């Protein structure tokens, strides 16, 4: 039996920091740069450009679009090289030492644990890069399931990413930090959205408002056509926001 409510939770920048910036990229890109005789920044820009190219192509295979090792090999190939080692191996090596849970995340998730509510990871990162970090940080047991692009061969913009959860539940709530992946696309799938934007983007006059008023009053950019349902300053506000959504839509919650 599936619970009536599913809360999809983004990982990177929402509840954790992965080891890519601190350890994986410096090692992987540093090696390419050294052997290609290129500045590290040039390699990084090439990787980011290749990633952006794949993201912009809706027909690009979702798994290859998110495969950092494939992207790194493609970029290195332009300098006539093959990458030694892999992001996958580096993630495993540095998952425990160079990643962390964001403040308030674990407390919020534990607060939200309830019989009627499934907590499900919804990350755009591939399982091979994300699962080792979830495990190292001890976060895996807090979730009913982990959805990655591998799960259903889709990205968050594709409804199939979310598998059967939307059909099997009455209320779907997406929680995340990225406007496109965590607000725009999930809203398009019919989910309620709880957004945690960069704090500096939230005008201070909105800080004292509640998350639902804030979401209406936030100065969205021209390429942000839909409003989030709730807008958080930090994760300590998450449990109450989820319960208020449940009360307003289903007429019940767990306290």
What is the binding site for Mg ion (CB under 5 A)? 10, 12-14, 177-178
**Nearest CB to Mg ion, comparing residues 47 and 196:** 196
Minimum distance between the CB of residue 12 and Mg ion, rounded to whole angstroms? Answer: 4
**Nearest CB to Mg ion, comparing residues 125 and 132:** 125
Minimum distance between the CB of residue 125 and Mg ion, rounded to whole angstroms? Answer: 9
| Rounded-to-10 torsion of CA 171, 106, 125, 83 | 180
- The CB density around residue 251, as the number of other CB atoms within 10 Å, is 7
Residue pair 238/249 in contact by the 8 Å Cβ criterion? no
**Nearest CB to Mg ion, comparing residues 13 and 166:** 13
Angle in degrees, CA 58, 62, 65, rounded to 5: 90
Minimum distance between the CB of residue 183 and Mg ion, rounded to whole angstroms? Answer: 11
**Nearest CB to Mg ion, comparing residues 158 and 254:** 158
Among candidate residues 225, 215, 209, 167, the one with its CA nearest the CA of residue 191: 167
List of residues 6+ apart from 128 with CB closer than 8 A: 88, 91
Minimum distance between the CB of residue 33 and Mg ion, rounded to whole angstroms? Answer: 27
Mark residue 38 as left, alpha or beta (left: phi above 0; alpha: psi -120 to 50; beta: remaining). beta
**Nearest CB to Mg ion, comparing residues 43 and 162:** 162
Q: Closest residue to Mg ion, Cβ-based?
A: 13
Minimum distance between the CB of residue 97 and Mg ion, rounded to whole angstroms? Answer: 21
DSSP 12: B
Minimum distance between the CB of residue 214 and Mg ion, rounded to whole angstroms? Answer: 19
β-sheet with 171-176: strand ranges across:
145-147, 117-122, 5-9, 171-176, 192-195, 230-231
Residue located via tokens 């047991």: 141
Minimum distance between the CB of residue 86 and Mg ion, rounded to whole angstroms? Answer: 22
List of residues 6+ apart from 223 with CB closer than 8 A: none
SS3 245: helix
Residue pair 218/227 in contact by the 8 Å Cβ criterion? yes
**Nearest CB to Mg ion, comparing residues 14 and 130:** 14
């Amino acid at each position: 039996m599936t619970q009536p409510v599913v809360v999809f939770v983004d990982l990177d920048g929402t509840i954790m920091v992965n080891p890519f910036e601190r350890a994986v990229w410096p090692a992987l890109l540093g090696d390419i740069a050294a052997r290609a005789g290129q500045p590290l920044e040039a390699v990084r820009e090439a990787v980011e450009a290749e990633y952006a190219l794949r993201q912009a192509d809706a027909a690009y295979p979702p798994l290859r679009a998110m495969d950092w090792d494939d992207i790194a090999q493609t970029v290195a190939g332009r300098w006539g090289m093959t990458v030694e080692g892999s992001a996958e191996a580096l993630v495993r090596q540095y998952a425990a030492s160079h990643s962390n849970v964001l403040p308030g995340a674990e407390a919020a998730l534990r607060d939200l644990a309830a019989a009627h509510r499934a907590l499900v990871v919804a990350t755009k990162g591939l399982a091979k890069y994300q699962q080792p970090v979830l495990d190292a940080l001890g976060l895996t047991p807090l979730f009913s399931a982990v959805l990655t692009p591998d799960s259903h061969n889709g990205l968050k913009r594709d409804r199939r990413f979310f598998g059967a959860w939307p059909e099997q539940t009455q209320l779907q709530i997406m929680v995340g930090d990225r406007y496109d992946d965590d607000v725009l696309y999930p809203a398009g799938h019919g989910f309620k959205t709880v957004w945690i934007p960069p704090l500096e983007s939230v005008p201070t006059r909105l800080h004292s408002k509640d998350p639902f008023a804030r979401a209406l009053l936030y100065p969205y950019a021209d390429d942000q056509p839909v409003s989030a349902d709730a807008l958080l300053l930090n994760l300590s506000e998450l449990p109450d926001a989820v319960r208020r959504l449940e009360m307003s839509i289903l007429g019940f919650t767990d306290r």
